[in-house]
A = this chain, B = another copy of it.
Amino acid sequence: MRSDVTAADALRIILEHTPVLGAETVAVPEALGRVLAEPITSTRRIPPTDNSAMDGYAVRRADLAEAGSTPVELPVAHEIAAGGRAEQPLEPGTCARIFTGAPIPPGVDAVVRQEDVERRGDRVAFAGTPAPRENIRPAGEDVEHGEAVFAAGERVGPAHLGMLAALGRAFVAVRQHPRVAILSGGDELVEPDGDVAGGRIVASNSYSIAAQCRELGAEPVYLGIARDEPDDIERRLAAGLSADVLVSSAGVSVGDRDYVRGVLEKLGCRLHFWGVRIKPGYPLTFGTFEDPAGRGPLVFGLPGNPVSAMMTFEQFARPALRRMTGHARLHRPLVRAVLSETLSKSAGRLHFVRVSLEREGERVLARPTGSQSSGVLRSMALATGLLIFPAEATELAAGEPVQVQLLDESFLDADAAGF
């Protein structure tokens, strides 16, 4: 096992061991936001027939060749509603009332909008000759039978769902979403409704990490709070081995009471590194199960401090979960910002600085959200971005351009529609 690795090495090692999950078949509405695991080929023509783009009158253009300053009158022979059949041909010298979406009958080569004619009882006066196929939408305009519609790997958005429904699909194959088993560990921890007398604290990391999972489309599975004793830890970790990812918060350190590492190794987990040169979040470990059948979860042993746990999940577990889910781009948007105040640190570890982002004309200002202690969750909640303070840098001056990972994409939302 390596120790004291760089952030870039840690991420590389993790992604080298991260598979893309298999496919599963879900009902079409459930596919929203998932990644297509099959190419979609059209099994029908959409629209199925030539149809009217307007409410108006279906005509044979030849009948209106003479229409101009002297209108041409035609009798209304019949009416074609949307959903009706269009088997009855239009007889020469007549027109037919037609509605938007209604099929075009044999013989018809144009539709004249109702606003452009004068209805006189059961006859209609036309004041001009329409262009060929005017207001006729061709069959197969959207897709033809047998045509490739969507590629595997596309993210399923609302229009994809509409198209799948239009194709008559009830089910579709998408990438599985990862199941993430989450364990908290420590004798000082209680559930939110627990008694906090005597210095006990709530196992809040399970809540924040579960929420980080759900924002990604991953499914959190809670393993509860393990006491600081190997048997309890082993029993709970074993219950998480069927998950795709196992996240333990606290308990993977060098303290005498940190039994998680030993239990993981006993269960067959190979740890790849311990300790990443970042702050907050140094005591991160990562492991895999070397099952010849390829089973067993990726294991992230996160530090116990509230911010360290969220930060290491964000930086290292999130990209892995995105890869598992089939996404091509694994990382947060990067925003170029200028720093509101000078920051300094010693060389050696990369710092992720919690910042709020504000627009100032064309530039974006990054302002630290308060105490950067790994125990101060509030400054994490207020952060819209994480500023990257590189490992070997010792000072970032006020006004200097900096790179910020965008945590809260709503920062990009606009105050106006743009029209």
Contact = CB atoms under 8 A, between A and B. Distances in A.
For this chain, the copies found in one complex come to 2
A208 interface: yes
Contact of A168 (B168, B202, B419): B202
A264 to B, nearest CB: 19
A157 B381 contact: yes
B208 A159 contact: yes
A143 B381 CA distance: 13
A162 B306 contact: yes
Interface string A265-305: 00000000000000000000000000000000000000010
Contact of A196 (B168, B192, B334): B168
Interface in A376-414: 376-378, 380-381, 383, 388, 390, 403, 405-410, 412-414
A232 interface: no
Given A114-B254, A375-B142, A377-B162, A418 B331 contact: yes
A25 interface: no
A199 B415 contact: no
Interface of A: 7-8, 11, 28-29, 32-33, 44, 46-49, 51, 53, 55, 81-86, 97, 99-103, 114, 137, 141-143, 149-150, 154-155, 157-170, 186-189, 192-194, 196, 198-212, 214-215, 228, 250, 253-258, 304, 306, 310, 315, 319, 327, 329-334, 350, 371, 373, 375-378, 380-381, 383, 388, 390, 403, 405-410, 412-419
